[in-house]
Amino acid sequence: MSNTSTVASVLAKDLAALGAKRCFGLLGTANFKISHGLVEAGVELISARHEGGAASMADAYAKATGELTLVSVHSGPGLTNAITGIGEAAKSRTPLLVLAGDVPTGNVKSNFYIEQADLVRSVGAVSERIYTPQSARGDLLRAVTRALHGRQTVVLSLPLDVQDAKLNGSNAPLELMPAPGRLQPNHDDVHRLVDVIVRAQRPLILAGRGAVLSDAEGALIELADRIGALLATSVCGHGLFAGYPWSLGISGGFSSPVADELISESDLIVGFGASFTQWTTKKGKLIAPGAIVAQIDIEAPKLGYQMPVQHALQGDAKASAEALLAELDRRGVTSAKPGRRNDRTRERIVSGDNHHAPYVDESSAQFIDPRTLSKTVDDILPKDRVVASDSGHFCGWVPRYLQVPNAKASCLSHSFQSVGLGLPSAIGLAVANPGKLAVLGAGDGGFMMSIADLETAIRLKLRMCILVYNDSSYAAEVHYFRRQNYSIDIVQFPETDFAAIARGYGARAATVRTLADLDPVKAWVGEGAPGVFLIDAKINPDLEADWHAEHFP
């Protein structure tokens, strides 16, 4: 890199050299030049219709690929529009670099001026800044390092005057330091936990997002096989152990009836990269009296934060599983314990999972039961898929019934519990998995918030099936406040014809009130599921999800 170039141009080349392949953004004057430089450096720019959508696309893409993923936003409202998506990414500990254009240094009278650092820190993201032309490349390297090696969402403020400044002479390529090795658990902690493991009669391994990031699935299955444990995941670990016969699926609000039973019968629960939140434990109801809980996480502050645990190990999920196996080997515990792994338990798992457990179908000629709808759509769509979900009252039906082949094929944007992030998350997941069918579950309220980016999905020629659970309301508030005898008309709305709107954007669509109305979806799948198809499902507005009723009594 030589000659005289602007800081924006140099930093764009640096980002490409450091491995950035895609940038999601929406352009304004303050981020135009850095974005233009990225395109010239070979980075693909994917333009969203809203900055919040751009951030959520990047969040899902980064989770699926592990790449250095970029977001580019304008100063002022560009960053404030993106802040909810940034908050979701930050709470998910997604490695993400947000390039936030900023006003020229010191121009506090600009309409676009805000304290960017205070804003991004308020939602848990990391604030960085290019301070001067001379420090700019070092500032960039520090931001990238914190994002990738620290697993953090970093917002890098780019003042316009610094972007426009010239850098003279030759500059050596930036080099990212090697990633640190896996954090190994303390040997004494491992020894004490194995003491407990060998005594356990009904052990359970619970895997969360940390296990996904650690690529720990194989080691956890080996450990479970050795000690006769059943397996389950948190919502953020959904997709781990897919198809494994001793997996119970999700633990918590979205669990199956049999998962509730078998988890609550466990005398030892060992969590790997799982936070044991009130959602995962059903406010502690899934932890049996006298059961021992062990938590393994790379972040010490998370150990015992959500609930008391008897054993806490600071360590990487995969490294810790391997250390436990090594200690079992050292003690001569080399043959598999049967535990609860028998024909009776297997029969319980199959008959009590979400697809087989009985329920009363509450469909009518006007409305379809969302459970019946979800299971049927799952059967119709190809199994080689990726699945995203928005948040909202409906959201448990997506991971319960729309199956995924692995953890990287799932993106459940629930860390901030904001509605409206589902469609952009599905777009990011689809871009990360070219050619695969992306499936989105969304509520009508959240889809309304993000509908502008339906154009983005069509423009990018993605293969996508959008399932809108349409009950013409903010259903969580309807069910919760109706129980308290409040009038709920202020959270109910006239029926929206999403199928007509989708056709206006150029998608195919169907309005679904009965299972017979899904025939156009079957025909679309028979054609290879090309382009975007939207299912406007008129679901029963009086049916409250069991997980919602239980969590918000």
Residue 32 is assigned to a structural domain of this protein: yes
Q: What is the CATH number of the domain that holds 101?
A: 3.40.50.970
Pair (314, 383) in one structural domain: no
CA distance 47 to 40: 16
Pair (420, 502) in one structural domain: yes
Please report which confidence band the pLDDT of residue 21 belongs to, taking 50, 70 and 90 as the band edges: very high
- Residue ending a domain, choose from 136, 167, 198: 167
Taking 80 as the threshold, does the pLDDT of residue 38 lie above it?
A: yes
pLDDT number for residue 414: 82
Mean pLDDT for the stretch of residues 528-551: 93
Pair (192, 327) in one structural domain: yes
Please report which confidence band the pLDDT of residue 11 belongs to, taking 50, 70 and 90 as the band edges: very high
User: Is residue 444 within 8 Å of residue 471, measured between CB atoms?
Assistant: yes
For the chain, what is the radius of gyration of the CA atoms?
24
pLDDT number for residue 1: 44
Residues contacting residue 13 through CB under 8 Å, at least 6 positions apart:
1, 37, 41
Contacts 24+ apart (CB under 8 A), 363-369: 363/514, 363/540, 364/540, 365/513, 365/514, 366/513, 366/538, 367/513, 367/538, 367/539, 367/540, 367/541, 368/512, 368/513, 368/514, 368/515, 368/537, 368/538, 368/539, 368/540, 369/539, 369/540, 369/543
Mean pLDDT for the stretch of residues 366-372: 96
pLDDT digits (tens, 9 = 90+) for 108-126: 998 999 999 999 999 999 9
Residue 462 is assigned to a structural domain of this protein: yes
Q: Which two tokens stand for residue 489?
A: 């008309």
Q: Which helix (H) or strand (E) holds 203?
A: strand 203-207
Pair (475, 399) in one structural domain: yes
- Residue ending a domain, choose from 298, 321, 351: 351
Percentage of the residues of the chain whose pLDDT score is greater than 70: 99
Residue 146 is assigned to a structural domain of this protein: yes
pLDDT number for residue 333: 87
Q: Which two tokens stand for residue 332?
A: 């001569």
Taking 80 as the threshold, does the pLDDT of residue 170 lie above it?
A: no
Return the amino acid letter for 312.
A
Taking 80 as the threshold, does the pLDDT of residue 327 lie above it?
A: yes
What are φ and ψ of residue 293, in 5° steps?
-115, 130
Which of 347-351, 410-414, 501-505, 519-523 has the least mean pLDDT?
Answer: 410-414
SS3 assignment, position 3: coil
User: Is residue 234 within 8 Å of residue 211, measured between CB atoms?
Assistant: no
Q: Which two tokens stand for residue 120?
A: 């991004």
CA distance 104 to 113: 9
pLDDT digits (tens, 9 = 90+) for 227-261: 999 999 999 999 999 999 999 999 998 999 999 99
pLDDT averaged over every residue in the chain:
94
Q: Which two tokens stand for residue 303?
A: 């150990």
- Residue ending a domain, choose from 351, 384, 399: 351
User: Is residue 508 within 8 Å of residue 531, measured between CB atoms?
Assistant: yes
Mean pLDDT for the stretch of residues 165-175: 81
Closest CA to 103 of 29, 37, 36: 29
Residue 176 is assigned to a structural domain of this protein: no
User: Is residue 493 within 8 Å of residue 473, measured between CB atoms?
Assistant: yes
Taking 90 as the threshold, does the pLDDT of residue 207 lie above it?
A: yes
SS3 assignment, position 513: coil
Pair (413, 443) in one structural domain: yes
Q: Which two tokens stand for residue 254?
A: 């979205």
Mean pLDDT for the stretch of residues 448-457: 97
Taking 90 as the threshold, does the pLDDT of residue 551 lie above it?
A: no
pLDDT number for residue 415: 83
Residues contacting residue 33 through CB under 8 Å, at least 6 positions apart:
6, 8, 9, 163, 164
Pair (207, 234) in one structural domain: yes
Residue 457 is assigned to a structural domain of this protein: yes
User: Is residue 216 within 8 Å of residue 248, measured between CB atoms?
Assistant: no
Which residue has 């669509």 as its token pair?
A: 509
Pair (411, 498) in one structural domain: yes
Pair (545, 398) in one structural domain: yes
The C-alpha torsion from 262 through 267 and 270 to 271, rounded to 10°, is 50
Pair (18, 143) in one structural domain: yes
CA distance 549 to 546: 5
pLDDT digits (tens, 9 = 90+) for 469-517: 999 999 999 999 999 999 999 999 999 999 999 999 999 999 999 999 9
CA distance 199 to 471: 50
User: Is residue 393 within 8 Å of residue 476, measured between CB atoms?
Assistant: yes
Please report which confidence band the pLDDT of residue 435 belongs to, taking 50, 70 and 90 as the band edges: very high
| Alpha helices (H) in 250-306, listed in sequence order | 257-264, 278-281
According to DSSP, residue 496 is labeled P
Pair (375, 346) in one structural domain: no
Q: What is the CATH number of the domain that holds 219?
A: 3.40.50.1220
Q: Is the dihedral of CA 433, 434, 436, 442 positive or negative?
A: positive
Beta strands per DSSP E along 394-452: 410-412, 437-443
Pair (212, 276) in one structural domain: yes
Range of the domain at 69: 5-167
Pair (221, 128) in one structural domain: no
User: Is residue 437 within 8 Å of residue 532, measured between CB atoms?
Assistant: no
pLDDT number for residue 224: 97
Taking 60 as the threshold, does the pLDDT of residue 55 lie above it?
A: yes
Residue 360 is assigned to a structural domain of this protein: no
Residue 521 is assigned to a structural domain of this protein: yes
Mean pLDDT for the stretch of residues 54-74: 97
CA distance 341 to 349: 11
Please report which confidence band the pLDDT of residue 2 belongs to, taking 50, 70 and 90 as the band edges: very low
Q: Which two tokens stand for residue 67?
A: 């790449």
* Strand duo 126-129 + 153-159: pairing: parallel
Structural domain count, the chain: 3
Residue 158 is assigned to a structural domain of this protein: yes
Mean pLDDT for the stretch of residues 71-97: 96
* Strand duo 5-6 + 166-167: pairing: antiparallel
What are φ and ψ of residue 303, in 5° steps?
-70, 115
